[in-house]
Amino acid sequence: MKSSTIDIQKRIHAAAETTIARMADADAALGEALANNAGLSVAINSSFLFRDKRSVKTFQSRRRLAAKVSRIGKQIRAEDVSILDGSALKKHYRILSEQELGGLIPLQDAVSQEINSVGDLIFVLAGTVKGLRPSAQQVDGSIVSELRLAPSLSGDFEKVAAGVYATKSIMPIEELFSRINGDLAEQGGLPDGEGKKIARAYDELLDNAITDVIIPAGRKIIPEGTILGEIAGSLQRQAEEYSTALKALGSDGKADPGLNEVLRIAYNFTTDVMPLIFLFMSICDVKPIIFWCTVDTQWALSSAFASLPWSALGRKEKLEEYQQVVSHARNRAFHHVLPFDATVEVDLSHLDVRAESIRLFTPFGGKQERGVRIKDQALADLLGEFSRAKWRPVSNIFWQANLKVMEAASDLAQAILDTLILLHKAKKVA
């Protein structure tokens, strides 16, 4: 057996053992069952997070980890890990019956099956980011004829030829204008109307900019510089920044100056990272070996979400609900200028609003105005357009617990990258 395949089995065994131990700590029934019965076999579900069908289009895998478990004092050991194939499992785990034990697939066989079924497309996330692709955009100008993105430039800006300017990387349009005007200083700078043409061309150049990624073939994957490596590093930095912002947050977590930074990072996380988590869930659905290798970090992320104060927020334990909590809190902070926390209702019962007409029996599905029309209808319509940001109070407890969610998401991204590297090595030598 190849050493890479053995490494994968070791990873799965350790991840399964850690997960069952943590499940036993969190679930009294499982902990008691393992304490009172030696040699029980436990099957672990193939997905832990609530599955939003709008975001996760795949179905969870029916190939699930199973382990024969022993307990020595407080230490839980997985003596044997195998695969339960095709059996229904609705909860996070299930203790297997004697009848089910005979149908378990040895881990070695299941790993070999999975490696053989893995295609190269899965390694897109482990592709190496090479940088911006050189590109050019014509300018319909009298002086400037072309703009270029040229990553190989020695400097950050260069006049390549008459009317042709190149930048090493993407820069603000104001800086580009400044550089071009500096080059044309002796000619009086850019003529009237030329700036708009350059701006349009630069927009096109940026809209069409492409970052090249090389999919690993027969070579070894270096984690640094891969798509998922860059993502994992960014998530870790975001979690560190969030932790720093939490330390500056007041005890009430409300009108503290540090709250804006907490909200900014948390909102960016939910906007950008939640789709990534949904992607991970789908990848694990279609390639269950990735879930087997990362089951411990999958459980850690699920536990971090479960530890949020859902009941206090009046929310269910769903990822979409988590997004809404953060979004509403952020909107309250960044889109709340008018000083009203609740809907304003003005008593008009003693005023003369002068209803002019009521329109009935308008064509079904038509666009004709219906209902009562008052004399100052235009003014009423304008006043009715005022709105406020939807908001629910969120305590400091939530923001503190959210740090574990961010850290767990970062750990999961890194664990999936490590797994892809193992699989790539195993597939390369297969």
pLDDT digits (tens, 9 = 90+) for 165-182: 999 999 999 999 999 999
408 shares a domain with 279: yes
Which of 209, 243, 258 is at the close of a domain? 209
Which of 209, 233, 254 is at the close of a domain? 209
pLDDT of 336 reads 47
State which residues of the chain have pLDDT below 50: 335-337
pLDDT of 337 reads 47
Cβ neighbours around 334 below 10 Å, total: 13
Is 168 contained in some domain?
A: yes
pLDDT of 314 reads 66
pLDDT of 379 reads 73
252 shares a domain with 109: no
Cβ–Cβ under 8 Å, residues 12 and 111: yes
What is the residue type of 96? L
325 shares a domain with 199: no
Sign of the torsion angle spanned by Cα atoms 256, 260, 266, 267: positive
252 shares a domain with 177: no
165 shares a domain with 99: no
Cβ–Cβ under 8 Å, residues 425 and 307: no
424 shares a domain with 306: yes
**Domain span holding position 178:** 134-209
Question: What distance in Å separates the CA atoms of residue 95 and residue 33, rounded to the nearest whole number?
Answer: 9
pLDDT of 386 reads 65
Q: What crossing angle do the helices spanning 259-286 and 227-247 adopt, rounded to 10°?
A: 150
Per-residue CA distances from 282 to 24, 31, 184 (Å):
27, 30, 54
pLDDT of 318 reads 78
Is 8 contained in some domain?
A: yes
Is 129 contained in some domain?
A: no
232 shares a domain with 303: yes
395 shares a domain with 251: yes
**Structural domain count, the chain:** 4
pLDDT tens digits, residue range 374-416?
777 777 777 666 665 555 567 788 889 999 999 999 999 999 9
363 shares a domain with 240: no
Which of 151, 174, 209 is at the close of a domain? 209
317 shares a domain with 241: yes
Is 329 contained in some domain?
A: yes
Is 215 contained in some domain?
A: no
pLDDT of 92 reads 94
397 shares a domain with 295: yes
421 shares a domain with 321: yes
